[in-house]
Structure 1
Amino acid sequence: MPSAKTHSALSRQWELLQQLPKRAPGITVSELLARLVAAGYSISRRSIERDLRDLSTVFPLQCNDSGTPFGWYWKPGVSVELQGITLTEAVSLSLVEDAIRPLLPGSMLSVLEPRFEHARQRLKGLKDGNPAARWPDKVASVRPDFNLRAPEIRAETLEALQHALISEQQLRCQYYSAHNDKLSELTLNPLAIVQRGLVTYLIATAAPYTDVRQFAVHRFRAVTGLDTPCQGLESFELKTYLATDALQFGKPQKIRFKAWLSEHQARLIRETPLSTDMVLEALSDGFQVSATLNNTWQLHWWILSLGDSLVVKEPAELRQQMRDTLRRAAAAYGHEEDKVSSV
C-alpha cells in the first residue's frame, strides 16, 4: 500500500494533468499553482515544474517555449481521457448527492452512482493530507422549520412517476387526498417534479381538467404508465409556475400587507426582507411593516408563528382570518385549563 505522502503526490499530479488544456498556448505554471492551491494542495512553483517535467516523460505533454511565460498543454492530435475526477468535482458531488437523488430518474441516477462512490473514495483517501478534502465535513445546509421526518416514498412509485415525466406520457394512478380523506382514481398529465423541503411533489393536470395541481408523491398508492402523450406541456413552464408562489399553497393573490411588529422582530425582518418593496416605519411602540405579498398558506403560517410579535392591520380580510384563528386557539387552551383544574 502506498504511503500517505506518495498517495498525496499521485493525487496532486492527477489533478495537474486534468488542468492542462488540449491546445496551445497552454496554461502557465503560475496559473497551475493558483488552481492547485485553490483546490487545497500545499505545493510550490518548483514542485509543479518538476511534476510537469516528470509527467511529460510518461504522457504526451508539450511546453510552448516560444515565448514567456511558458505554457503547458496536451500534444495536438492525441486523445487522452482521464477517467478520474478532480478534488473540486469530488467535493461538489459529495455536497449535492443527497439533494439531487429525489430529482433524477433511476436511469440517470444509476449512471452517476459510480461517480458518487468514486468521489467518496477520493475524499477518504485525501482527508489526512489535504484540508480541502475535509470541506464536506465543515459545511451543512439545515432546514429552518420544525424538524419533521420525511414521508416514506416507495421506490417503484417514484420510478414510475419519473418514467412518465421523462417519456412525456400520461399515467393512471390511485391518489390519496389527505384533505378529503379519500382515495381517487386519476389520469394525470405529469409536467414536473419539485422537491419542497421534505416533501416531493408531482406537478400535473388531472384529465380532463387543465388547472395545474400539486400531488404529494408519498400519497400515490398505485401508478401505471400509459401510452398516450402528456397534454399541456407546450403551455407549461416550470420557472414561470414557481414564480407565482404556487408551492406556497393557497391562492397566489397579491395583497398589500401591513402589520405592527415588535422591535425585536423588526430587527430580524430588516435582515431578511419580506419583499423588494418592503418598508419599515418606526412607531412609538414598535414598527409598521408594509410589503406586497402573495396571500398564501405559507404567509398565514408565518404570521401565526410570530404570536404577539406581529399584528395584521391590512388587508381587513386577512386580519379577520388571523383574529378568528387565534380566538379559537385561545378558547381551546382555555378549555384545556378547565379540564386540568377539574382533575
Structure 2
Amino acid sequence: MPFATTRATLSRQWALLRQLPSRSPGITSAELVWRLRDVGFNVSKRTVERDLNELSLIFPLERNDKSIPFGWHWSSTAVGELRGNFDLLTYLRGDALQPAQGEGVELVARISDTLARQLRETPLSTDMQLTAQEHGHRVRATVSDGWPLRWWLLSQGDGVVVEQPEGLREEIGKMLSNAAAQYQNP
C-alpha cells in the first residue's frame, strides 16, 4: 500500500477513534459517517464498519449489540490517554515502542525500502539494526510487546512482514487474514 494511502487511512481511523464515546449505548456507524464528514473524511458507512471491526482487534472497543443499529464505544477498561487530546504521532515517535527497563522482545521483520527510510529517521529502539536485502530490508529491534506494537505493525500493511517472535508473527498473520476475508465477502 502506498505511503500516502496508508497515512490517509491512519488519519481517518484516528479521527474515527476520537469520535467514539466512553460508554454504552455508543454511537452508530451512520452517525460516525456524518461526524467524519464534518472533519473532512468523506467515507461510506461500510468503510466505517470495516474500520471499526479492524480497530477493535487492536484497541479496547466494544459494540453494543443490544439494539439495532449497533452502537460503538470505548471499553470501560480503556486507558484514559487514548481519548481526548492525544497526539498519536508524538506518542509513536516517543517511547511508545521502547521496552521498559529490563523488558521487551526482539522484533525481526522484513520491511519495504520506504519504511526503512522512515525508520532511519525515527528508529524503533536504540538497538535497532537495518540490513539491506535483495528486496527491501530486515529490521531487528528490542521493543515493548503490547498493543502499540501491534497497532504499528498492522498500520504498515504490506510494508512489513514479522519474522520473529513466532507468536507475534502468527497473531499478526491471523489478524490480517481475518481482515482480508471480510473484503472477500461484501
Note if 1:319 corresponds to 2:169.
yes
Note if 1:283 corresponds to 2:151.
no
Q: How far apart, in 1, do the equivalents of 2:162 and 2:143 lie?
A: 13
How many percent of aligned residue pairs carry the same amino acid? 36
TM-score by length of 1: 0.29
- Amino acid across the alignment from 2:15: N
* Aligned partner of 2:117 among 243, 248, 267: 267
Q: How far apart, in 2, do the equivalents of 1:195 and 1:280 lie?
A: 32
Distance 1:332 1:179, change over 3 A: closer
Note if 1:304 corresponds to 2:154.
yes
Query: Offset of 1:198 from its aligned partner?
Result: 2.3
Distance 1:253 1:150, change over 3 A: farther
Counterpart secondary structure, 1:268: helix
Greater relative CO (CA pairs within 8 A, separation 6+)? 2
Note if 1:256 corresponds to 2:106.
yes
- Amino acid across the alignment from 1:291: A
Count of equivalent residues: 112
Query: Offset of 1:269 from its aligned partner?
Result: 1.1
Aligned pairs for 1:20-35 (under 5 A) are none
| Runs of 4+ deviating beyond 3 Å | 148-153, 177-181, 193-197
* Aligned partner of 2:15 among 147, 155, 174: 147
Counterpart secondary structure, 2:181: helix
Q: How far apart, in 1, do the equivalents of 2:161 and 2:152 lie?
A: 12
**Residue by residue, what CA displacement relative to the aligned partner does 1:260-307 show, whole Å, maximum 9, x if unpaired?**
000011101110000011000000101000000111111101101111
- Amino acid across the alignment from 1:198: G
**Residue by residue, what CA displacement relative to the aligned partner does 1:171-197 show, whole Å, maximum 9, x if unpaired?**
xxxxxx96597xxxxxxxxxxx97456
* Residue matched to 2:182: 332
* Residue matched to 2:41: none
Distance 1:271 1:333, change over 3 A: same
Counterpart secondary structure, 1:277: coil
Note if 1:198 corresponds to 2:84.
yes
Query: Offset of 1:332 from its aligned partner?
Result: 1.1
Higher normalized strand content (fraction of residues):
1
Contact kept in structure 2, 1:150 and 1:198, CA below 8 Å: no
**Residue by residue, what CA displacement relative to the aligned partner does 1:235-270 show, whole Å, maximum 9, x if unpaired?**
xxxxxxxx8x6xx9xxx9611000000001110111
- Amino acid across the alignment from 2:127: D
Query: Offset of 1:330 from its aligned partner?
Result: 1.1
Which one has a bigger Cα radius of gyration? 1
Q: How far apart, in 2, do the equivalents of 1:196 and 1:323 lie?
A: 25
- Unaligned segments of structure 2, at least 5 residues: 1-9, 23-59, 65-78, 87-94
- Unaligned segments of structure 1, at least 5 residues: 1-143, 154-176, 182-192, 201-242, 337-343
